[in-house]
Amino acid sequence: MTDSQLIREIKEGNVELYSELMSRYQRKILAFVYHMLKSSNMELLAEDLCSETFYKAFRSLHSFREVDASFSTWLYTIARNTVLSELRKQRSGNVPLEESGVVPIAPMENAPEHAVLRSERVMLVRDAINNLPEKQRSAIILREYDQLDYQEIAGILGQSVSSVKSLLFRARSSVKTQLEPYFFEPMYEPYEGMKNR
C-alpha cells in the first residue's frame, strides 16, 4: 500500500494501520531528531521526541491533505517543530538553537591515528554546521544527511525552492570558509614555525 492508501484507510477507521506508516518513517525521523539534538547534548531525548512526533501526526492525521504536501514532508515538519519547541523550553530565548549530525566519511585504515584524525574532522564539520543560522542548519541536515530533495525541504521549512537553494549555497559556503584554515593550510607554514624555534 502507498502512504496515501494507508492514510485513507486510517482516516476511515483502520487505525491499526498507523503502525505500518510509522515503521516506514521511524528510523528517518529518529535520525533527523537525533541530529538536531546532538550538539545541544540532548540526544537522549531523541526517542521521546520521535514518539511525540508520531503521536502529534496521528492526532492531526484527519487534517492532513496531500494537495498541500507529501506525508513525509508533513511528518518532517512536525518533527522539526517538536524539536525546536523542546530546545526553546530547555534553553533561554537568547541562546541560538543548535543542530548537527555525524558527517559521512569514506572508510579509512583502522590505525588509531586515522580514527583520531577522522574524529577531529567530524568535530570540525559539526562545529561549522552548529555555527550556521537555524534555517541553514536545518536545510543542510535535511539535504546532506536525510537526502531529501529541494521540494521536500521547501515544504518542511516553509520556503520556496529557490530560497532553499540559496540557504544551502550560503550554508555550504559558510562551512567551507570555516573549515579552510584546517584543511587548506599553505605548505610552507610548518617550516616557518620550525625556523622560529
Q: Which amino acid is at 133?
A: P
pTM: 0.64
Determine the average pLDDT of the residues in 114-141.
76
Fold of 3-92+114-182: Rna Polymerase Sigma Factor; Chain: A (1.10.1740)
DSSP string covering 103-125 = PP-------HHHHHHHHHHHHHH
pLDDT tens digits, residue range 161-184?
Answer: 999 999 999 988 888 888 887 765
Here the cell at position 191 is 617550516
DSSP 184: S
Count other C-beta atoms under 10 Å from residue 132's C-beta.
24
The structural domains of the chain, with segments of one domain joined by +, span 3-92+114-182
What's the gap between Cα 41 and its chain centre? 15
pLDDT (0 to 100) of residue 194: 44
pLDDT tens digits, residue range 63-76?
Answer: 888 777 789 999 99
Q: Which regions of the chain does DSSP assign to beta strands (E)?
A: none
168 touches 143 (CB < 8 A) = yes
Task: Tell me the three-class secondary structure of 57-105, residue by residue.
Answer: HHHHHHHCCCCCCCHHHHHHHHHHHHHHHHHHHHCCCCCCCCCCCCCCC
Question: Which residues does 74 contact at the CB level (< 8 Å), separation at least 6?
Answer: 57, 64, 68, 155
